[in-house]
Amino acid sequence: MPSTAVGRPWRIATRRSPLAQVQARSVAEALRAATGRNAELVPLSTTGDDHPERAIEAFDAKGLFVDGTRAAVLEGDCDLVVHSYKDLPSEAHPDLVVAAVPARVDPRDALVSREGWHLAELPRHRPVTVGTSAPRRRAQLQRHRRDVLVQPLRGNLGTRLRAVSEGHLDAVVVALAGLLRLRPETDGLIAVPLEHGEILHAPAQGALAVECRRDAAVTRKALAQLDDPVTRTEISAERELLVQLQGGCTAPIGAHAEVRTTAAGQQRLVLLGLVGDPNGTRLYRASHETAPDDAVTLGRAMAATLLEAGGGEVLTDLRAEPT
């Protein structure tokens, strides 16, 4: 297990992609400010990174984008790891704890094109190709426009944007948070945010999960200073929905939770949920709200509503399909 001496820098495991390192660097800077200790990044690879040519659904495993970085913490080489929260499997790791959930960035998806199209403005007089490998995005795109040709697309954010700027695709759907954090060169591309009624984002999208060993008391105490209670509450509702639906990061499930203040000054936690098949033929939405301290119960109630509405049959059919 690594030493916790004050003089030694925090060692932060991260994936090697530019976006992952920007995210990890933001945590390093916050941790340095909070504790007075320097921090260094340890870029590592994961199973998903090692096989960029394979569709996510082709892997017979969970945690494709966290396994290598988690291992560095579990083995004691690193003190903590910074994840995109939506990459975490829905089941918690028994020896790790999410010790901090910093304030999240805008969780919406964005449609990126050369023309700056809104979803409703995609041309109808010719075939339009939109890139995404996320079943959730594909389902909602197909629900809105059956004539859109949805093309599988993996790779880091820069690779996906180049597919549009070089003319291989008309547009891509990506997480707006990645664009805001990385601020990549876009070569004249225009990103248009997609509202929740157009494409509902993935549970925990836009949020970071900072994990450390469950028995690392010093690290946990330090990371607690980076935690944003409102974001953690919202993520708790979204993730509980995912857990109850037994959906991993590849399932066609969407969720958005938000703490809102009513005209009377009361705080309410509002949760939007979605489940559907990859073609968008069967797509179920619902909305519930409760007090902010009841996030887990809200996620469970939303899951029950979606399952009863028809989502249960959809998920059963998806699990029965050969991989």
* Radius of gyration in angstroms for the set of CA atoms belonging to the chain, rounded to a whole number: 20
Task: Decide: helix, strand or coil at residue 46.
Answer: coil
DSSP states of 137-198: HHHHHHHH-TTSEEE---S-HHHHHHHHHTTS-SEEEEEHHHHHHH----TT-EEEEPPTTT
Which are the contacts of 66, defined by CB distance < 8 A and separation ≥ 6? 46, 81, 83, 87, 88, 89
**Helices then strands (H, E): number in the chain?**
10, 13
Residue closest to 208 by CA, chosen among 35, 45, 69: 69
Terminal Cα-to-Cα distance of the chain (whole angstroms): 38
Which are the contacts of 32, defined by CB distance < 8 A and separation ≥ 6? 10, 38, 39
Query: What sign results for the dihedral spanned by CA atoms 98, 81, 18, 47?
Result: negative
Query: What sign results for the dihedral spanned by CA atoms 95, 257, 278, 301?
Result: positive
What is the total residue count of the chain? 323
- The catalytic site residues sit at 86-87, 136-137, 154, 160, 249
Q: How far is CA 185 from CA 22, 46, 310, in A?
A: 15, 26, 42
Q: Which two tokens stand for residue 96?
A: 């790790």
| Residue 292 DSSP label | G
- Separation CA 173–CA 113 (nearest Å): 9
